[in-house]
Every structure is written in C-alpha cells, then in structure tokens.
C-alpha cells in the first residue's frame, strides 16, 4: 500500500484506484491474505496445540498457527477430556472450546450434528475445519458448501469468507454482485475485515471525496477493531480529505502510529516521515529516525533509501557516512534509483566504500 498518501491526496481528482491495492483486485490485501491462508495444507491429527495462536491481520491466520502446532508425526488422535460434558444445546460452544484447545476431531464431532441442524456458528466452524484440514481431510468443496450455508444463515464471518470465494471464483462460481452484498451484510454486522473491504468497494464505486466519506464509517469500524490496513487508510483520510472534522483530523497521527506499531512497514515509513516533517503533530527527529530504522530493517526499500538521507544530513542521529552508504547500497540493490545518492557514494573514500559494502553484505545475511 505504499503510495497511499499520494493516492488519497488525489482522490478528489477521481482516481478510481484510491485505497485499492492492485494485487487484491479492488478488495484489499486482506482478501489476498485470506485466500492464501485458506489454501494451506494441514495435518489432521487431534493433538492439543502447544500454544495459543496470536492475534493477526486475518481471521484465517489464527487457524493457520493452530494448524502448525497440531502436526504430531503419526501419533493417534486424542479426544478432548470434556467431550461428553454438557447438554446437546451447548454442543456448539463446546465445539468451539475444543477447537481453541486444538482438539479438532472433537470439534468436528460436536459441530457437525449442529451444523446439519442449521446452526450457522457450527456451520462456520465445520467450514473452517474442512478449509484447513484440521481433524479431517482438507476439502475446499465441503468448506465452500458449509460457508455458504452459514452465510445464508446470517453468520458474519462466513459471509465474509464466502464473499471472498465468490470474488475470486475459487471453489465456487464467481458472483461479484452476491459477493459485494455478502460483504456489506458482514460489514454491517461488525466483521472488521468485511468493513475494511466493503469500504474499499464503496471508494472504488464512487471515486472522489463523496465515496471516501461514505466509506469512512466502515474504515473507522475496522480501524477500531485493530485492522492495521484500515488504521493506515484512516490516518491518510483524516489527514488529507476535505470535509473531515478538525476533531478527526487531529487523530490522524494517532492512527498512523497504531498501524506502525501493528507492524505494517508502510505505516512505519510514513509515521517516520510524519514525525520528521511535523505532519499531524510536533516534529520529533529522533523518534522519526527510530521508526525509519524499523521500517528499513524490515526490508522497506524506500525506508532504506531514506535512512541513507537521514545519516547524511544527521537528522535524528549523529550521522555516519558508512551507515548512509550501507543503506544506499541496500536500496540500490533492491532497484531504488537515486542519482543524488549515487553522487554521495562516489565521493566516499575507497575504505569507506569497502566498509559500507561489508556492512550491507552482513545485513543481507540476516
């Protein structure tokens, strides 16, 4: 999503691509991530996971982590010790409990009867198990069937995931109109990822300020629920869109910081720029340097180029020509062309160039 600042700054000129990462075909990088995770192979053992999966950008990512923990080299599957506890009425809740603890066979045994009786939450869980191959052989056809049933039954998570399938036309016949309708239903029900992607659909359908303002509540909803892509987009909208209240505009840098702290490297780059240039608040050169370094270390090529500039001009740091040259070399190797830095590098001594090359090579081995 690098270039978001420029895209949003131009949205009033009718740029249809505003906020829409091209690789996600108008529906955001989250959709592409969701489909990637849904396509992962998985083991079918029912051993308890060794760790609780961490929070992440997509709802599938937690399943992927649990799936990794579940691989137990040929040992017989176990059953959750409380599988028979409780009444049939709370079977769905017990199924989710078994799933969260890594007892996937038990989760399927408890959820499938409820799914067959029309319980949307149980249907979604069965779909998840089939999609990831947890406790059962992976079957995207079965996953699609159960996601569809749950989506039609009103489960917001299933509406989002089945909508993703309809958008991409994988495992189901493509149906963009139905996909967008499901995405809106899921967004209105509070699904954070659906809110983010529905917001992008609205912006694509109505380029310009009107479309951005119509989508704004959905961006805000997703951002409040921790979707870093939405936090980044919201920061840019608050900072650059006419018609945004002063109260919201004052929160732009706060949301940029949230996205940066969530690990979004483009947000880290832009947050560093905002701190250095005093956008959305006071200038803070040292903090800006630190965030630029974080983004550069994570491999953001533009940040690597900017690190060279910061070292050359001693902005937020004491300055170091060898460090500057190291970052220049790294960004140049990645294809970033900067004639002014070419001239800087040629002006270094042979020893400084040699040390910079060694430092860049060492960085590349990380």
pLDDT in tens, 47-90: 333 333 333 344 344 334 333 333 333 332 334 444 444 555 58
Question: In terms of Cα–Cα distance, which of 70, 78, 74, 77 is closest to 50?
Answer: 70
Asked if residue 22 has pLDDT above 80, the reply is no
pLDDT in tens, 237-296: 999 999 899 999 999 999 999 999 999 999 999 999 999 999 999 999 999 999 999 999
Q: Which residues contact 294 (CB under 8 A, 6 or more apart)?
A: 260, 268, 272
Distances (CA, A) of 71 to 15, 75, 230: 47, 9, 34
Q: Which residues contact 274 (CB under 8 A, 6 or more apart)?
A: 253, 256, 280, 281, 288
Asked if residue 2 has pLDDT above 80, the reply is no
Beta-sheet strands, E only, within the chain: none
How many Å apart are CA 258 and CA 252, to the nearest integer? 10
CATH code matching the domain that covers 19-206, chosen among 3.40.190.90, 1.25.40.10, 3.50.50.60, 1.20.120.1690: 1.25.40.10
Contact, 91 vs 113, CB < 8 A? Answer: yes
For every residue of 169-221, DSSP letters joined together read TSSS---HHHHHHHHHHHHHTT-HHHHHHHHHHHHHHS-SHHHHHHHHHHHHH
pLDDT band at 308 (very low <50, low <70, confident <90, very high): very high
Asked if residue 31 has pLDDT above 60, the reply is no
Using CA of residue 293, residue 294, residue 297, residue 303, what is the dihedral sign?
Answer: negative
Q: Which residues contact 105 (CB under 8 A, 6 or more apart)?
A: 46, 77, 79, 135
pLDDT band at 364 (very low <50, low <70, confident <90, very high): confident
Contact, 218 vs 196, CB < 8 A? Answer: yes
Which helix (H) or strand (E) is 159 found in, with range? helix 156-168
Using CA of residue 140, residue 146, residue 149, residue 155, what is the dihedral sign?
Answer: negative
Q: Which residues contact 107 (CB under 8 A, 6 or more apart)?
A: 95, 96, 98, 99, 125, 129, 134, 135
- Mean pLDDT estimate for the chain: 81
Q: Where in the chain is the domain with CATH 1.25.40.10?
A: 19-206
Least confident of 10-24, 157-171, 210-224: 10-24
pLDDT in tens, 99-154: 999 999 999 999 999 999 999 999 999 999 999 999 999 999 999 999 999 999 99
Helix (H, G, I), strand (E, B) or coil at 93: helix
pLDDT at 295: 97
Give the pLDDT mean for 4-17: 33
The half-sphere exposure of 80 on its side-chain side, counting CA atoms within 13 A, is 23
The half-sphere exposure of 50 on its side-chain side, counting CA atoms within 13 A, is 5
């Amino acid at each position: 999503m690098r270039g978001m600042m420029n895209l949003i700054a131009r949205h009033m000129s009718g740029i249809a691509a505003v906020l829409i990462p091209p690789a996600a075909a108008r529906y955001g990088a989250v959709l592409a991530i969701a489909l990637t995770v849904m396509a992962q192979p998985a083991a079918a053992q029912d051993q308890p996971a060794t760790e609780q999966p961490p929070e992440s950008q997509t709802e599938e990512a937690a399943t992927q982590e649990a799936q990794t923990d579940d691989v137990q080299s040929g040992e017989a599957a176990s059953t959750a010790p409380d599988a028979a506890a409780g009444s049939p009425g709370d079977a769905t809740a017990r199924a989710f409990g078994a799933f969260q603890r890594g007892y996937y066979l038990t989760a399927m045994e408890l959820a499938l009867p409820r799914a067959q009786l029309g319980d949307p939450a149980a249907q979604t869980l069965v779909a998840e198990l089939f999609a990831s191959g947890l406790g059962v052989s992976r079957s995207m056809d079965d996953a699609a069937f159960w996601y569809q049933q749950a989506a039609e039954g009103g489960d917001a998570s299933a509406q989002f995931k089945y909508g993703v399938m309809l958008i991409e036309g994988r495992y189901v016949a493509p149906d963009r109109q139905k996909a967008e309708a499901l995405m809106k239903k899921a967004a209105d029900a509070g699904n954070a990822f659906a809110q983010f992607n529905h917001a992008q659909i609205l912006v694509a359908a109505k380029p310009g300020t009107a479309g951005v303002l119509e989508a704004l509540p959905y961006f805000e909803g997703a951002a409040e629920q921790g979707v870093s892509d939405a936090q980044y987009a919201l920061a840019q909208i608050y900072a650059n869109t006419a018609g945004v209240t002063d109260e919201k505009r004052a929160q732009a840098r706060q949301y940029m910081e949230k996205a940066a702290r969530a690990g979004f490297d483009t947000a880290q780059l832009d947050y560093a720029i905002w701190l250095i240039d005093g956008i959305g608040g006071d200038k803070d050169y040292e903090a800006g340097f630190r965030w630029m370094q974080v983004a550069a270390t994570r491999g953001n090529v533009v940040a690597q180029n900017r690190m060279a500039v910061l070292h050359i001009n001693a902005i937020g740091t004491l300055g170091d020509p060898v460090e500057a040259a190291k970052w220049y070399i790294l960004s140049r190797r990645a294809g970033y062309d900067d004639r002014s830095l070419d001239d800087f590098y040629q002006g270094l001594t042979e020893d400084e160039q040699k040390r910079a090359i060694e430092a860049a090579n060492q960085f590349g081995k990380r």
